[in-house]
Amino acid sequence: MIQASICTIGDEILIGQVIDTNSSRIATALEEAGIRVTRMLSIGDNREEILSNLRNELEINDIVITTGGLGPTKDDITKGVLAELSGSKGYVENPEQLAIVQQILHSRGLDMLEINRAQALVPDRCEVIPNRLGTAPVMVFRFPEDTFGATLFALPGVPFEAIGALPSVMEDIRAHYPLDHILHHSVMVYGIAESALSELIAPWEDALPKDMHLAYLPNPVTGIRLRLSIYGGEEAEQKARVQEQLKGLEALLGELVYSDGDDTLQATVGRLLKAIGKTVSTAESCTGGMISHLITSVPGASAYYLGSVISYAVSVKKNVLGIPAETIQTAGVVSSTVAAAMAEGVRRTIGTDYAVSTTGLAGPDGDEFNPVGTVWIGVAGPNGTKTVKKIFKNDRKRNIERFAASALDELRKMIISDLK
Amino acid sequence: MIQASICTIGDEILIGQVIDTNSSRIATALEEAGIRVTRMLSIGDNREEILSNLRNELEINDIVITTGGLGPTKDDITKGVLAELSGSKGYVENPEQLAIVQQILHSRGLDMLEINRAQALVPDRCEVIPNRLGTAPVMVFRFPEDTFGATLFALPGVPFEAIGALPSVMEDIRAHYPLDHILHHSVMVYGIAESALSELIAPWEDALPKDMHLAYLPNPVTGIRLRLSIYGGEEAEQKARVQEQLKGLEALLGELVYSDGDDTLQATVGRLLKAIGKTVSTAESCTGGMISHLITSVPGASAYYLGSVISYAVSVKKNVLGIPAETIQTAGVVSSTVAAAMAEGVRRTIGTDYAVSTTGLAGPDGDEFNPVGTVWIGVAGPNGTKTVKKIFKNDRKRNIERFAASALDELRKMIISDLK
């Protein structure tokens, strides 16, 4: 199997100023092409460290992809170090990249300075993949068998330039390396703890063939992603074998599976609503707009989402959602009755098919009746209203996220049950 | 200078399914304590690779911090590998962590399974920092001088658990390593590009004493954090000297500074409203609840935040916010007129002193009148209404975040102007 390593170069990552998102995107592209990423590393703008780390990565791997350190300023030293590493005798001007640099400066109304012209200079031992999105080209160093027998691709660090260059880099890799296929398939699960899930599917997991691998990827908001991977082999056969295994898994898990794929809860709910041509609204108290934010984070949400009332104060529950003051006083704000009245109130006020509500205590404090982390969720639909109580034990931020995810899951379950 | 390395363990990072945010947060904490991070790396759930990489990092560094691979499932092998690396003879049950595991399961209404109990087992050669946020404790391995002469901290991979454990880890590091005192003071700036800010404060920055260092920490949502650091010396004197310099900086920047400290925009707005005893509501279209979510993410927001109307559909703008159909038809949904009417409508409907609104196009598509990334922000208050148009050039997620941050900043500016 072809092995690769990804290396980001730049002090700004090591001091925590910038989160490295390039590596993840590059890793995804490599994985999809059937290349195993053995390691990712981030190092500083320091000659000795760049040299020793890259030598090490080139020894171990077939492909090394670096990002960063190619800017025009003094702290960017990657190009010089790569010239040294590759035994280049000097620099040559790349006419294609020079034309791009000229064009970029022109479009910004700037004159070409020496520092800009130098961006088109590359070590004489590399090939160039022009970068149309910025001034620094991608440099390709092919180290022969008697040195490392590996290829190094040096990409710019600016994320949209690095990601923009990826298709050309992958094309170059495909042209030079024979590639196996890896197939990953995810199933999204909500409403069960990782340990209980593990116990539940243990017999199935233990019976998996040796060339398949299961990973648990838990996320407190989206639930648990179960990823089944199969290495090597022919794609159609891989798919069929994975599908066969997933049938067994889904039979065990039933309604706990909310997506056969990578969808989020909000995308799943959106897909269901779109498919049946129904609409939704939310009435949120303790989640303060989080459910609405999640729903509208999905492009095209306007096809099924009309709006929400965030009734943080009791006055809004009364005046906008039309819940009688006596109801709130008798049942208490955090109650099944109020959750139901909120969902029904917003469903009526905004005029949707479904509505989901939350009333609870995200923290930091509980009240005299309920501990912090308590939420009542209401879901109202064409066939009636249901309420569910949940108690989480997290901090405010995490409680809000979990309340919102649970509410989306309850909505999902009502829609599915209505479809039956 | 004490040197550290950060290592994330988990296949999910190497295949690009998860972006590693822990390393950046840990790096920030180390850097602020005056510890140099030499390298970050990500490796897979593979015994040989974990062993060889950790040995190497322990040779080179004083401190190694790992995250991940401590879950209860079979693919998480870090604990076993650390037992091997440290020469542990077996496992011991940590009673404190066991009690936490019990408590977590109890609070979720779950029974203790063998797999849960195993989470409280740790190699006999490590010390434990209990993890109150999850089931896997932090393990501290102190390798004596005759092996690596270094300390390894193994943190869970779930971000809020890893970050939650950081203060205890830093406390342990301070107790065992001699660290200089570094004083950092931040000032939060919104509404100016980094290059323009740099030009504006250049004379002040150039005149800084040699033992002070200014860092620009830009964030597309919260603006730019300017962090002034002073290395070594006595704390009271450090504080006085930093305060003196900041006076000059704040004089240059005026209203661009929204917080003398680390506050977010939403916390700043909350602090202002609380101080003057006024309330706020929001009417959101393209931000879909994000402003409301940000405001309510601040504990105690109920003191000044009453609620919102998310008027995603035109019908909600008409029926709930009371904006006449003709107004919307004449001016267009994405317009100054509608932004103003939304802010005024929600201020009236919910009955608050201030109200802020957004109407725009977050993406992926623009419309025939406005490019994607266009937003009209409305702010209504006791002294009238103002509207502002902004155009951002990002993807949907980022546009929503920037629209919301801009809206909060406009609200902040109106409150400040009313206070004058």
Domain range list for chain B: 3-176, 182-260, 265-419
Distance (Å) from the alpha carbon of A60 to chain B's nearest alpha carbon: 12
Smallest Cβ–Cβ distance between A24 and the set B19, B113, B309 belongs to B19
- Measured between alpha carbons, how far is residue A104 from residues A97, A117, A130, A133, A357 in Å? 10, 12, 13, 8, 51
Question: For A65-92, what is the mean pLDDT?
Answer: 91
CB < 8 Å to B51, chain A: none
Question: For A2-10, what is the mean pLDDT?
Answer: 96
Domain A265-419 has CATH 3.40.50.1860: no
φ/ψ of residue B333, rounded to 5: -65, -45
In chain A, the residue whose alpha carbon lies closest to the alpha carbon of B297 is A397
Q: With an 8 Å Cβ cutoff, is A363 touching chain B? A: yes
Residue A167: its pLDDT value, please? 95
A-facing residues of B in 48-87 (CB < 8 A) are 49, 53, 71-75
User: Angle of helix B194-206 relative to helix B235-253, nearest 10 degrees?
Assistant: 130
Ranking A85-89, B40-44, B205-209, B217-221 by mean pLDDT, the lowest is: B217-221
**Residue A405 three-state SS:** helix
- Structure tokens given for A87: 């035994």
φ/ψ of residue B381, rounded to 5: -150, -175
CB < 8 Å to A320, chain B: 307, 309, 320, 349-350
- Structure tokens given for A351: 């005029």
Q: What percent of chain A has pLDDT over 70?
A: 100
What CA–CA distance (Å, rounded) separates A333 from A329?
Answer: 7
Residue A394: its pLDDT value, please? 81
Residue A2: its pLDDT value, please? 93
Q: Is B53's CB within 8 Å of A31's CB?
A: no
CB < 8 Å to A67, chain B: none
Residue A183: its pLDDT value, please? 85
**Runs of H (alpha helix) within B86-181:** 95-107, 114-117, 159-176
B-facing residues of A in 377-406 (CB < 8 A) are 391, 393-398, 400
**Cβ–Cβ < 8 Å for B269, B408:** yes
B-facing residues of A in 301-360 (CB < 8 A) are 301-302, 305-313, 315-316, 319-320, 349-351
| Residue corresponding to tokens 């109920």 | B302
Q: Report the candidate in B277, B271, B272, B347 with the shortest Cα–Cα distance to residue B307.
A: B347
Question: For B147-176, what is the mean pLDDT?
Answer: 95
Question: Is residue B232 packed enough to be buried (19+ CB in 10 Å), middle (13-18) or exposed (0-12)?
Answer: exposed
Q: Is B20's CB within 8 Å of A25's CB?
A: no
Distance (Å) from the alpha carbon of A115 to chain B's nearest alpha carbon: 18
Q: A182-259: same fold as A3-176?
A: no
Q: With an 8 Å Cβ cutoff, is B34 touching chain A? A: no
Question: For A180-189, what is the mean pLDDT?
Answer: 86
φ/ψ of residue A418, rounded to 5: -65, -25
Q: What percent of chain B has pLDDT over 90?
A: 78
Q: Enter the CATH code of domain B182-260.
A: 3.30.70.2860
Q: Is A291's CB within 8 Å of B288's CB?
A: no
Q: Is B310's CB within 8 Å of A313's CB?
A: no
Q: With an 8 Å Cβ cutoff, is A255 touching chain B? A: no
Torsion of CA A379, A382, A383, A389, to 10 degrees: 0
In chain B, the residue whose alpha carbon lies closest to the alpha carbon of A404 is B293
The answer, yes or no, to whether residue B39 has pLDDT greater than 80, is yes
Q: What is the ipTM of this complex?
A: 0.83
A-facing residues of B in 156-185 (CB < 8 A) are 158, 160
| A182-259 topology per CATH | Alpha-Beta Plaits (3.30.70)
The answer, yes or no, to whether residue A411 has pLDDT greater than 90, is yes
Distance (Å) from the alpha carbon of B296 to chain A's nearest alpha carbon: 6
The answer, yes or no, to whether residue B218 has pLDDT greater than 80, is no
- Measured between alpha carbons, how far is residue B165 from residues A46, A83, B67, B132, B160 in Å? 31, 43, 11, 9, 8
Q: What percent of chain A has pLDDT over 90?
A: 77
CB < 8 Å to B107, chain A: 373, 391, 393
Residue A116: its pLDDT value, please? 86
pTM here? 0.84
Q: What percent of chain B has pLDDT over 70?
A: 100
Q: Is B115's CB within 8 Å of A195's CB?
A: yes
Domain A3-176 has CATH 3.20.20.100: no
Mode of pairing for the β-strands spanning A257-259 and A212-219:
unpaired
- Structure tokens given for A395: 């901090």
CB < 8 Å to A213, chain B: 75
The answer, yes or no, to whether residue B343 has pLDDT greater than 90, is yes
- Structure tokens given for B403: 């629209």
